[in-house]
Amino acid sequence: MKHTVALFVYDPKCSVQSCNGVISTLQDNYKLKIFSKSEVEYNFFDDVDMIIIPGGIGDADSFDQLMKYNAKSIKKFVRKGGKYLGICMGAYWAGKSYFNLLDGIDVVQYIKQPESKTRRPHAKNMMVTFNGQEDHMFFYDGPTYVGEGNYETVATYSESGLPMAIMQKNIGLIGCHPESQEFWYESYSWMQGKYHQGSQHKVLLQFINELIER
């Protein structure tokens, strides 16, 4: 029986491009439900196993606008043990200033950490170590994680060793974009020819499979 994933989309604040990458990754293995900023029905998440909020252009003001109606339902879902996956912006939204889902840690800009050698938020083919394997992954102002709380580090930014992808109980967060598609890379002259040929979709699927079984 396939698990059910609820995917949030509201372009460009939560990018259709990122959502399409997630859909492409999951469509053969999971059932998908789409929701947006409009209030969901009271039982919308009853048959859902995981909520995924992918990347986009989101700040505090956009969170307040986009989650005006559904934030309480999402937090209730996670408190009851439902799985949450945040990618880039979705990872930021798990932090203290937004959903406040985490225990003893917060989500912060990677480029502002002293250990980071990357100071520009723009698109970059970032070297990461994911499950012990080095690879380059699409980065656009993604987060890292700070605090004394316990969590499992699944991937790090190779240049600094800071965590890039983590799991804490029923929550998974990824700072880069394993859901990226080829045209993302072709949009930047310095990224052309560096697409991962779909291999990172398999990495994302493995991450989701592991999170869903926790």
User: In the chain, where are the structural domains located?
Assistant: 4-212
What are the C-alpha distances in Å from 166 to residues 71, 171, 211? 22, 8, 10
Tens digits of pLDDT across the chain (214 residues): 899 999 999 987 778 899 999 999 999 999 999 999 999 999 999 999 999 999 887 666 789 889 999 999 999 999 999 999 999 999 999 999 999 999 999 999 999 999 999 998 889 999 999 999 999 999 999 999 999 999 999 999 999 999 999 999 999 999 999 999 999 999 999 999 999 999 999 999 999 999 999 9
Fold that domain 4-212 belongs to in CATH: Rossmann fold (3.40.50)
d(CA 162, CA 149): 15
The pairing of strands 152-157 and 124-130 is: antiparallel
What are the C-alpha distances in Å from 9 to residues 15, 34, 67, 105? 7, 7, 11, 26
Local structure of residue 112 (DSSP, 8 states): G
- Full-model pTM: 0.96
Omega before 12 within 30 of 0, i.e. cis: yes
